[in-house]
Amino acid sequence: MTGSLPAGVERQQFDGDERLATRGQSVYGEPTDGEWRAWDIRRSKLGAMLDRRMETGLTGGETVLYLGAAAGTTVSHVADFAGPTYAVEFAARPVRDLLTVADSRPNLFVLLKDARKPETYAHVVEPVDVIVQDVATRGQARVANTNRRFLKPNGRLLTVVKARSEDVTADPTDVFETFRSQLEGYEILDTERLDPLHDDHLAVVARPTR
C-alpha cells in the first residue's frame, strides 16, 4: 500500500536533505526553515510510518487521540496538521514538557492519565477520527481494544507494537503475532516493521469492525 502525506505535512529541504516537516514552533531542537520544522523520523514512529508511505488514512484536520504522548516529540507534529488532539501521558515529568508544547498549540489538550484506564478520561475525549498509540507497556493490544470506544466507525488505529516492552526475552516476530491475535474489534489493513530506524517495532494500521 502506498499512502500520501496528510495536508500540512510536506517534504522540505534542511541542510541539503529532504525531510518530512510540519509548520509549528520547534519542540525538541529539530532543524527549522522559516515556519517549517523537520520531523525526525528516527525519534518518531509515526513519522517513520509516513516516511515509508504507509496508508495511514491521515488527510489533515482529523480529531486525534494520542496515547503515550511523552514529552511531545511526535504529538507536537500531529497537532501541527490535525484538528483537536488529545494527548494522554501517564508520567508527570514529561507532562510538564508537554504542557509547554501545548502553549503554542491551542488544539492540543494534555491529559495526565493512564492509557490503560480510558474510563478516567472518557468524560473529556470526544469521538475521534484517529487513535495514535505509542505506549511502552505490556498489554498493548488490550490498550488498543479498550480505547476503541472513542474511535468513529470509519476511523483508524495507528499503533506501533514495541516487542521489548511486551517481552524482552521473546522473539519479536512471535510478539507481533500475539498482538494480531489479541486485537479485538479491528480489521488490520497494513503492517510494516520499522527496522532499522526503530528496531523490533511493528507499525499497524487498523480500522474498527464494530
**CA distance readout (Å), 139 to 45, 109, 167:** 19, 25, 10
CA 35 to chain centre: 23
Annotated binding site for S-adenosyl-L-methionine: 73-74, 89-90, 114-115, 134-137
What number does CATH give the domain 41-208?
A: 3.40.50.150
What does the pLDDT read at residue 1?
47
Distance CA 182, CA 190 (A): 16
Domain limits of the chain? 41-208
Distance CA 22, CA 80 (A): 6
Cell of residue 116, nine digits? 490503560
DSSP β-bridge partners for residue 133: 67, 159
Per-residue pLDDT reduced to its tens digit, 34-55: 999 999 999 999 999 999 999 9
What's the whole-number average pLDDT of the chain?
96
What does the pLDDT read at residue 177?
97
DSSP β-bridge partners for residue 109: 86
Annotated binding site: 73-74, 89-90, 114-115, 134-137
